[in-house]
Amino acid sequence: NWLSNDKGILVTNTDVTIDPFSFSGAIGSSGNDAGVRYQGGDLVITNSYFHDNQDGLLANADPNGSVTIKNSEFANNGIGDGRTHNIYVNEIGSLNISDSYFHDVAEGNEIKSRAYSTTVTNSRIFDNNSTSSYSIDIPNGGVATITGNTIEQGPNGHNSNIISFGVEGNLHPNSSMTVSGNTFVND
């Protein structure tokens, strides 16, 4: 289904809580439509399922905004061009992910965050047989905390690195990364 707004199934411009919902089939002519397109405010997603979209969640920049994801699943998003992902947040204040499951992205990243603060805890991130890139990509740094996760990079991934931090330069102030208590498997 082509979306007439060419953004997403749900477009948020203010504080929104989503619990529980399923988002599937976001397809638009831009090739970058999302189950949810965040444009500002504080977004909280719990107990939800995002699958088979061009992007699962796509967030515009809002340095004062936040995205919180709990107990949710992101699967089979992306169109295989390397520019679509299960989750992609631009420069927002914070991205907080806990107790969630990310898997089988098509060519892109399971989680891509340009947020000033990114926290991923107690989650499962599995590429399985997908053609993923990074499991977690934090290209501009920031304060990142990756703890208590199980991350498995599949055999068909197009990038041998599992986590990427600060590789695009233009680092956020006070950038630092803490990675602890995780289990990593590289197939």
Residue 155: its pLDDT value, please?
92
Residue 158: its pLDDT value, please?
86
Q: Average pLDDT for consecutive 10-residue bins of the chain (187 residues)?
A: 80 97 94 96 98 97 98 96 96 98 96 98 96 96 98 91 94 97 95
Residue 157: its pLDDT value, please?
87
Residue 72: its pLDDT value, please?
98
Number of H helices, E strands in the chain: 0, 21
Residue 97: its pLDDT value, please?
99
Q: Which of 69, 73, 24 is nearest to 43 (CA)?
A: 69
Question: For residue 6, with 0-12 CB atoms within 10 Å meaning exposed, 13-18 middle and 19 or more buried, which class applies?
Answer: middle
